[in-house]
A and B are shown apart, each in its own frame.
Chain A
């Protein structure tokens, strides 16, 4: 793998188009957590013509439902959840300016098409390595939907959160190339 590129969230359009599937990144800055229930509400808000609880333009959403913080932690264990469950909602958010998603697992073609059209990146983090991920979170603030508990939207300040570009703005998919390289026919 290549040396990691340091990137800062929120992201600019030029920045994301330079990132290619397989690139390693270290993400710093502010990212937003959201998973199933929060996505449902975000898209319902868009459909009702209501404002989103945060300005989504250029942002990265991290698909995660963290553990509660222990004393001394900003946030508890917080590895990625399976991204596919957010596929029904992701295209609408990408169209509104969402520029990055962090998760794990494959995406549906409709999501990849939206990413190509609007210029968005799909990053993957290591599933099941939540204790290490928590060490990169320096601050966590509740943004919306507190009643959803672990599914509430939080704004995280992260430093050098490690991830890999899995699907780039041209639609190249690291899962496909990785698997075909090691498959025994």
Chain B
């Protein structure tokens, strides 16, 4: 059985936190440049240029793209044949976050208690960790620094089966319309349909990790993604909400089996600074 010392996890997470906050993934940058080419609004084009320029400056000068370096969401895919040694896996991930947010001069944005003291933990821990056990002997780590400008505009609704694909589309478009300028458009729209309310929400977040604009493998879902994107971009919200053709770069829908009486839909919005990093140990 392969062994992996958790100190390697700490090191990887530290590096990934910093890299994710400094380097916008290529697919996101390309999607922004493509949006610039199709945007009809002169102001919109200028705003998209500023965002692209900002991402390039951040990468070159090794500074955060956006000051909201978020809550650190970490998706782990742990091979069932991998033996972790040297300590507690989740503590190792948290230590990576703690170090990355310090050495990378990233903003610490986590409060320990949501209701009463709201005291900042000072090191951006704890991260939010999701673990899937998968075949194999590797550990895949995905780090998503998720800002709250877009997160706060996210929503979930328990539709009834009668609502169907049209009901899903209508709800998603409503969420983006209501969000308006707040989530820093153009946004990426992650949608989770099915499961129960918790599964739908996690699927919506994980949908944001797909390469921007890569369609769902199932043609019917891909068609719903295209139709929903078109309706969103007909809203006119545009870059930064100041009017224009490009409100969303992509709609990514994920689905899962659900109850005979259920149709949960979760919408997780992601700003144009769609940061994440991925590594396999």
Chains A and B bind each other: yes
Assess the A132–B182 pair: CB atoms within 8 A: no
Closest to B180 in A: A106
A128 close to chain B: CB less than 8 A = yes
Assess the A76–B63 pair: CB atoms within 8 A: yes
Q: Mark A29-70, 1 if CB is under 8 A from B, else 0.
A: 000000001000000000000000000000000001111111
Complex Cα gap A178–B244 (Å) = 7
A32 smallest CB distance to B (angstroms): 16
Assess the B64–A182 pair: CB atoms within 8 A: no
Assess the A132–B57 pair: CB atoms within 8 A: yes
B66 smallest CB distance to A (angstroms): 5
**A126: chain B residues within 8 A (beta carbon):** 47, 50-51, 54, 240
Complex Cα gap A82–B41 (Å) = 23
B166 close to chain A: CB less than 8 A = no
Q: Spell out B's residues near A (CB within 8 Å).
A: 40-43, 46-47, 50-51, 53-55, 57-58, 61-69, 105-109, 118, 120, 122, 148-149, 152, 180-182, 184, 234-238, 240-245, 271-273
Complex Cα gap A68–B242 (Å) = 30
Q: Spell out A's residues near B (CB within 8 Å).
A: 1, 37, 64-70, 73, 76-79, 81-82, 84, 104-106, 124, 126-132, 134-135, 148-151, 164, 174-175, 177-184
Assess the A131–B65 pair: CB atoms within 8 A: yes
Assess the A182–B238 pair: CB atoms within 8 A: yes
Given A1-B43, A82-B152, A150-B107, answer yes or no on A130-B65 (Cβ-Cβ < 8 Å). yes
**B245: chain A residues within 8 A (beta carbon):** 182
Count contacts between A and B, CB distance < 8 Å: 160
**A131: chain B residues within 8 A (beta carbon):** 54-55, 57-58, 61, 63-66
Complex Cα gap A105–B184 (Å) = 8
Assess the A128–B51 pair: CB atoms within 8 A: yes
**A151: chain B residues within 8 A (beta carbon):** 120
Assess the A78–B118 pair: CB atoms within 8 A: no
Assess the A175–B242 pair: CB atoms within 8 A: yes
Assess the A76–B41 pair: CB atoms within 8 A: no
**A164: chain B residues within 8 A (beta carbon):** 242
Complex Cα gap A78–B181 (Å) = 18
Complex Cα gap A179–B235 (Å) = 7
Q: Which A-B residue pairs are the 4 nearest by beta carbons?
A: A178-B243, A183-B236, A182-B236, A127-B184
A68 smallest CB distance to B (angstroms): 5
Assess the A128–B105 pair: CB atoms within 8 A: no
The listed residue with most B CB atoms (<10 A of its CB), out of A127, A149, A178, is A127
Given A37-B118, A77-B64, A178-B238, answer yes or no on A128-B243 (Cβ-Cβ < 8 Å). no
Assess the A182–B243 pair: CB atoms within 8 A: yes
**A69: chain B residues within 8 A (beta carbon):** 105
21 A-B contact pairs sorted by A residue (CB < 8 Å): A66-B107, A79-B67, A79-B68, A105-B181, A124-B242, A126-B47, A127-B184, A127-B240, A129-B66, A130-B65, A131-B57, A131-B63, A131-B65, A132-B53, A149-B120, A151-B120, A178-B238, A179-B236, A179-B237, A182-B41, A184-B234
**B180: chain A residues within 8 A (beta carbon):** 105-106, 175, 179
Name the contact of A180 in the complex, choosing from B106, B236, B271 (C-beta under 8 A). Answer: B236
Assess the A128–B273 pair: CB atoms within 8 A: yes
